[in-house]
Structures are given as C-alpha cells and as structure tokens.
Amino acid sequence: MWLLLAGAILSEVAATLSLRASEGLKKKRWIVPVAAGYLGAFGLLALALARGMPVGIAYGVWAACGVALTAIGARVFFKEALTRRMAAGVGLIAAGVLIIELGAAAH
C-alpha cells in the first residue's frame, strides 16, 4: 500500500513540475508527461485505496507530501523562491503528516 502511495505522490509531483515546465501547456512536448503523471498518480492512489488504505490517511499524506516536494522541486528545477517562511511551512507539513500517521497507528 505504502509503495503505491509513494508512487502516486512522485507521479503527481512529476506531473505538476512538468506542467510548470510546459508554461501552461504552451510547450507541447510536455503534454504527455503531464497527462501520464496525473493519470499515474490517480491510478496508484486508487490502487492504494483498493488495498485498504484509509482515504483520510492516503489523501492527507498524498496532498501534504505533494505540496512539500513540489515546492522543493520548483526551487531546484526552476529557481523559484523558497523562503524561510515557506521552508517552515514544509516543515509543518512534515510534522502534520507524522501526527496523522501516529494517530492512525494508535487507532
């Protein structure tokens, strides 16, 4: 389950960064990576859910990790801003994911 979710997260981040690289789909060569990434992300998320992962956990982790990794990827690949405040937000996202996991484990 967790490998499927990790694949969904990485696919979604790759698709989002590809969308950025496409400049709003103006650069046509990026259309296939964008579409494949998003289709892969939702397909892998669906498989994780079908295997019994609770939707609240799956979606929370998927969304939080996607936001954090996309912000970091945008900094690395596109030299977009990643201020201290933004980095603190990424840290808070990581803390939130950890708290969700601990809460799920306790249940």
pTM above the 0.85 mark?
yes
Instruction: Report helix, strand or coil for 57.
Output: helix
Q: Give the domain range for residue 88.
A: 2-106
pLDDT in tens, the chain (107 residues): 999 999 999 999 999 999 999 998 999 999 999 999 999 999 999 999 999 999 988 988 888 889 989 999 999 999 999 999 998 998 898 888 888 878 877 76
CA distance 36 to 95: 30
Number of domains in the chain: 1
Residues in the chain: 107
- Quick one: pLDDT at residue 104? 73
Crossing angle of helices 55-78 and 2-21, rounded to 10°: 40
- Quick one: pLDDT at residue 46? 97
